[in-house]
């Protein structure tokens, strides 16, 4: 896989860490407990049903998947030993490892794969991942350990799907003929991953223990505890008090609260580009926003560096498109509107907007330039972004009002019904560059993701063409063109990408910061024997 640049925009800044690692001549040992703090509790521990990140964190350790990503997002085998792309991408042959076992000792076979797909396609199963299974037109069992995934047309995101949802494996011998939704496995899962489930106390903690028989070798750390602490400030105090070993820091905590000796002596903090971006999206069905010049003018008027600094303590990057810098398909676009209020003013004038009546608000044909930005409640950053944008646009004579609405009401009343002028929202981006659901003109219906109503025939073609080839160079060119068009047409003003900011106790070894962050090799982390009895001063 071609990696253009390391997207990790910073790295471990604690000088003591490497010195300590050198002192551990013994090499990796097993044992110890690792406690991770989480804001939210899991909701279900069965793949296919889980949608929240807490559930997925645990499922990722308890279950195995067909394929997985390596440190640089290269596709590697997990339950699958290897895969072959055949018939020009119409068939993907999966060879399962023969030593993969469920935690109750039963082998993982192709029957489990077939069963998982059946469950996912069953209309009674409420899974958001059905479409990834529907893309597979047939799943052919060749023998107990070999399967062919057959596609009607070449479908490049298929491999990504087989790492993610479509690569989930459910235990057929435990679930066949049972109702998934009332299955005790939801709260007491039997998986095939590096950790076995031990117990789950609702809203308190989830405990996992190392799986000695794991097919990729027993993980080093014995116990993994997922502790639910709903308040970020409390979580940080628990970290400082050694009640937990790892948490994701907020930008403010990373920038302001980690200078104390107690933190520097005991913890390492990491920083790498996240998989999310925040944007200002325009309702393109409103006449006001149908003129590219108007959208570009707003883009030129917004100082994204200042926003990043102001709301995110500079911990992130300015976004110029929907992709994460560092991914092989990311393109440094040139059409992105740079901060330049002068150009913004000229563009608005060219579009007919000047202050004809001298009331301080620009207007055209007697209609003043006013619009409303809507965003959801409970996200302080988005509110602050809205305020900064409001202020920047006021200087150009554009009157912006802000409305903050509770999430469910926000979706129901504003997004689904397309009753908004502009929104501030964020997307999590995937590993595959496919963006069909967000930008294709067929995806503008109610409850679909192209709710800004973006329509561009060339983009439609590109999005389909990008799905039709596995050739990385071709896809890179296709999605490069796509990024150029978005940067020029500005259906969104892409604002910024936040960094992921984990903090971990420095007694753990084996962390290798890579493109994929730090958690991808958790099985290899280890705790020196002398520090295994560490837990816990309470």
Among 1, 11, 142, 233, binds other proteins (CB under 8 A): 233
Contact predicate 292/489, CB 8 Å:
yes
Nearest CB to other proteins, comparing residues 3 and 39: 39
Nearest distance from C-beta of residue 251 to other proteins, angstroms: 19
> Any contact of residue 238 with other proteins (CB under 8 A)?
yes
Structure tokens that stand for 229 in this block: 């602490």
The 3-state secondary structure of 108-148 reads: CCHHHHHHHHHHHHCCCCCCCCHHHHHCCCEEEEEECCEEE
Contact predicate 96/82, CB 8 Å:
no
What binding mask, one character per residue, do residues 208-227 give for other proteins by CB under 8 A, x or -? -------------------x
Structure tokens that stand for 526 in this block: 């280890």
Name which of residues 107 to 136 contact other proteins (CB under 8 A). 123-132
Nearest CB to other proteins, comparing residues 365 and 428: 428
Name which of residues 447 to 486 contact other proteins (CB under 8 A). 447, 449
The residue among 161, 180, 160, 158 whose CA lies nearest residue 171 is: 180
Nearest distance from C-beta of residue 211 to other proteins, angstroms: 22
> Any contact of residue 534 with other proteins (CB under 8 A)?
no
What binding mask, one character per residue, do residues 149-168 give for other proteins by CB under 8 A, x or -? ----------------x---
Question: Residue 330 contacts by C-beta under 8 Å, 6 or more apart in sequence?
Answer: 4, 321, 323, 324, 483
Instruction: Kindly write down the DSSP assignment for every residue of 59-105, as one continuous string.
Output: HHHHS-BSEEE-TTS-EEESSEEEEEEEGGGTEEEEEE-TT-B-TTS
Backbone Cα Rg of the chain: 25
Among 437, 458, 471, 473, binds other proteins (CB under 8 A): 437
Nearest distance from C-beta of residue 266 to other proteins, angstroms: 12
> Any contact of residue 409 with other proteins (CB under 8 A)?
yes
> Any contact of residue 246 with other proteins (CB under 8 A)?
no
> Any contact of residue 395 with other proteins (CB under 8 A)?
no
Among 203, 358, 365, 366, binds other proteins (CB under 8 A): 203
CB-count burial class (<10 Å; 0-12, 13-18, 19+) for 443: middle
Nearest distance from C-beta of residue 412 to other proteins, angstroms: 4
- Chain-centre distance of CA 293, in angstroms? 32
The residue among 138, 156, 159 whose CA lies nearest residue 147 is: 138
> Any contact of residue 360 with other proteins (CB under 8 A)?
no
What binding mask, one character per residue, do residues 172-201 give for other proteins by CB under 8 A, x or -? ---------xx---xx-------------x
> Any contact of residue 387 with other proteins (CB under 8 A)?
no
Nearest CB to other proteins, comparing residues 74 and 134: 134
Dihedral angle over CA of 99, 195, 103, 182, nearest 10: -130
- Chain-centre distance of CA 43, in angstroms? 18
DSSP state, 106? P
Binding residues for other proteins, rule CB under 8 A, total 60
Among 60, 189, 194, 243, binds other proteins (CB under 8 A): 243
| Rounded-to-integer distance, Cα 420 and Cα 411, Å | 11
> Any contact of residue 538 with other proteins (CB under 8 A)?
yes
Residue 289: helix, strand or coil by DSSP?
helix
Nearest distance from C-beta of residue 258 to other proteins, angstroms: 14
Nearest CB to other proteins, comparing residues 351 and 423: 423
Among 98, 140, 218, 536, binds other proteins (CB under 8 A): 536
In the chain, DSSP finds a helix count (H) and a strand count (E) of 17, 22
> Any contact of residue 310 with other proteins (CB under 8 A)?
no
Which residue stretch of 216-224, 273-281, 443-451, 498-506 sits at the interface with other proteins (rule: CB under 8 A)?
443-451
| Rounded-to-integer distance, Cα 291 and Cα 309, Å | 30
Which residue stretch of 169-177, 202-210, 362-370, 466-474 sits at the interface with other proteins (rule: CB under 8 A)?
202-210
Residue 389: helix, strand or coil by DSSP?
helix
Residue 512: helix, strand or coil by DSSP?
coil
Nearest CB to other proteins, comparing residues 29 and 121: 121
Nearest CB to other proteins, comparing residues 212 and 234: 234
Nearest distance from C-beta of residue 120 to other proteins, angstroms: 11
| Rounded-to-integer distance, Cα 364 and Cα 263, Å | 57
Residues that bind other proteins (CB under 8 A): 37, 43-44, 49-52, 123-132, 165, 181-182, 186-187, 201-205, 227-231, 233-234, 237-238, 240-241, 243-244, 262, 406-409, 411-413, 415, 427-428, 430, 437-438, 445, 447, 449, 536-538
């Amino acid at each position: 896989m071609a990696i253009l640049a390391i997207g990790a925009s910073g790295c471990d800044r604690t000088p003591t860490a490497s010195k300590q690692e050198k002192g551990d001549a013994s090499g990796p040992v097993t044992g110890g407990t690792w406690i991770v703090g989480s804001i939210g509790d899991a909701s279900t521990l069965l793949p296919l049903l889980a949608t929240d990140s807490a559930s997925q964190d645990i499922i990722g350790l308890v279950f195995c998947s067909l394929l997985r990503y390596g440190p640089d997002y290269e596709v590697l085998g997990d339950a699958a030993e290897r895969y072959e792309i055949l018939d020009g991408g119409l068939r993907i042959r999966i060879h399962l490892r023969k030593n993969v076992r469920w935690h109750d000792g039963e082998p993982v076979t192709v029957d489990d794969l077939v069963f998982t797909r059946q469950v996912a396609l069953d209309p009674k199963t409420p899974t958001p991942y059905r479409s990834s299974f529907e893309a597979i037109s047939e799943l052919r069992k060749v023998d107990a350990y070999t399967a062919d995934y057959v596609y009607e047309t070449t479908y490049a995101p298929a491999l990504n799907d087989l790492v993610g949802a479509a690569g989930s494996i459910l235990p057929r011998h435990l679930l066949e003929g049972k109702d998934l939704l009332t299955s005790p496995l939801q709260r007491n899962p039997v998986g095939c991953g590096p950790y076995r489930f031990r117990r789950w106390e609702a809203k308190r903690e989830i405990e996992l223990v190392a799986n000695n028989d794991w097919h990729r070798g027993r993980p080093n750390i014995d116990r993994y505890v997922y502790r639910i602490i709903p308040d970020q400030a409390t979580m940080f105090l628990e970290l400082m008090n050694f009640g937990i070993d790892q948490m994701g820091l907020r930008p403010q905590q990373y920038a302001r609260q980690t200078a104390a000796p107690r933190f520097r002596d005991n913890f390492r903090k990491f920083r790498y580009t996240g998989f999310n971006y925040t944007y200002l999206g325009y309702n393109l069905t409103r006449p006001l926003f149908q003129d590219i010049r108007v959208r570009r003018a707003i883009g030129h008027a917004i100082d994204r560096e200042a926003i990043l600094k102001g709301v995110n303590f500079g911990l992130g990057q300015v976004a110029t498109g929907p992709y994460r810098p560092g991914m092989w398909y990311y393109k440094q676009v040139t059409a992105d509107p740079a901060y330049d209020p002068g150009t913004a003013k000229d563009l608005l004038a060219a579009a007919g907007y000047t202050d004809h009546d001298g009331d301080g608000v620009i207007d055209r044909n007697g209609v003043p330039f006013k619009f409303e930005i809507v965003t959801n409640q409970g996200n302080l950053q988005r509110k602050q972004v809205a305020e900064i944008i409001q202020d920047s646009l006021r200087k150009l004579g554009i009157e912006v009002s802000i409305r903050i609405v509770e999430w469910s009401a926000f979706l129901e009343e504003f997004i689904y019904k397309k009753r908004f002028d502009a929104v501030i929202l964020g997307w999590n981006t995937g590993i595959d560059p496919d963006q069909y659901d967000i930008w294709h003109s067929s995806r503008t219906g109610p409850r679909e993701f192209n709710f800004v109503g973006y329509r561009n025939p060339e983009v439609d073609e590109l999005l389909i063409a990008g799905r039709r080839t596995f050739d990385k160079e071709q896809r890179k060119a296709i999605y490069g063109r796509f990024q150029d068009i978005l940067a020029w047409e500005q259906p969104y003003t892409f604002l910024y990408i936040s960094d992921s900011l984990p903090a971990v106790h420095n007694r753990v070894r084996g962390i290798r910061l890579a493109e994929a962050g730090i958690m991808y090799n958790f099985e290899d982390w280890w705790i020196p024997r002398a520090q295994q009895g560490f837990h816990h001063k309470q």
